[in-house]
Structure 1
Amino acid sequence: MNYTKLCSLVSGLEPAIRGVFVYHFSGELLAGGMLEDVKSYLPNEEITKSIRNTISRWKSRESLYPFLGTGKYSITEYEKIKRITFLLETHVILVISMEVEVDHDLVIKKVLQLIKQKI
């Protein structure tokens, strides 16, 4: 999968997308970032903590896979943003940050189609 191309395509799905990132479970940023002219609400050290927490939650879900199947995505809505996390491959996640008014169901459907195509 071409992570850079995926990030670029996801960035264009909706004007209110703020950032698109691909991370390895080690915490390494593989591709993506904040969109041009968009400032993160989180300081850098909080971004690192947040990603570690996100990765930890995905790892904890793996124990459920034999019973429920592999996780596809999770969504969290805060007062200022929505964040959707998708499992791309074993130990690789896609994280999308967007404004709260975005129709997240539409974004989820489009992203799942892109993942299925293995861009």
Structure 2
Amino acid sequence: MISDREKNIVVVAASWLETSTTIISCEDADLPLGYIGTTANAIKLVRALCYYTITKMTSSHSSSPSDLLYSTAKRICSQVLQLDNSIRFAGLANHMGSLISYELRKGLVPLLNEEELKSYTLKTVLRMKTREDYESKLGDVIYTFALYKKIKRATIPLDHPNLAALTVSFDMAADHEGIIIDKILPMIRREKLLTTAVEA
């Protein structure tokens, strides 16, 4: 019997397959090769894909977010931007890797276009799901961080039935860790998007 976790991972993977063919070539460094590169995980992926196919054929689910979820996500993204002047971008994604809403700092010229942003978000959520394999030993992920030559970017996994992750980008000079720990995490806890606390 396929587990709920396998279902969750493959919904993201299948959504990715529908929007990108690069996963087949396995040449993109962003692809989760470590996850699907073993026989055991490949079998899990196939089993989960079968579940996804059946579910999709028998479901009338629409990929469009509800008005309530969209308005909530938009409000939270706006609040995140207001926490610090060095925050460039805030976006919220669902468990399928779809970008529900995002906000950019006023006057900012984005580095990624709309399609690139959606693709980046999808890959971010997929990578986040694969990290759950190690949480039983390492503890829950508080946030993940990537330092690029032009920006800093962090992803915070959420405890919410409809929202999977908050992605935030910062200016290079930003104290990203202080902003995340002291400003962003307390705010999203107040919004009931996060229940775990950072251990001292």
Shift of 1:5: 3.0
Would you say the 8 A contact 2:158–2:164 is kept in 1?
yes
The match for 1:52 is 122
| SS of the residue 1:94 aligns to | strand
SS at 1:21 equivalent: strand
The percentage of aligned residue pairs carrying the same residue is 29
Match of 1:39 in 2: 109
Letter in 1 for 2:139: G
- Structure scoring higher RCO (CA < 8 A, sep ≥ 6) equals 1
Q: Which moved more, 1:36-45 or 1:98-107?
A: 36-45
Structure 2 contact 92–165 (Cα < 8 Å) conserved:
yes
The gaps in structure 1 that reach 5 residues or longer are none
Query: Deviation per CA, 1:61-115, whole angstroms, max 9, x where unpaired?
Result: 1111222222111111101100111012256100011111111122111111112
What is the RMSD computed on CA atoms of the aligned residues?
2.0
After superposition, the Cα gap between the structure-2 partners of 1:3 and 1:44, relative to the gap in structure 1 and judged at 3 Å, is: closer
The equivalent residue for 1:102 is 174
| Moved >4 Å (runs of 4+) | none
For residues 118 and 47 of structure 1, what CA distance do their matches in structure 2 show?
25
Structure 2 residues not aligned, in runs of 5+: 1-68, 193-200
The normalised TM-score by structure 2 is: 0.54
* Secondary structure in structure 2 of the residue aligned to 1:89: coil
- The count of residues paired between Structure 1 and Structure 2 equals 119
In our comparison, the structure showing a higher alpha carbon Rg is 2
Q: Considering fraction of residues, name the structure with more strand.
A: 1
Structure 2 residue identity aligned to 1:115:
I
Cα distance in 2 for partners of 1:31, 1:44 equals 12
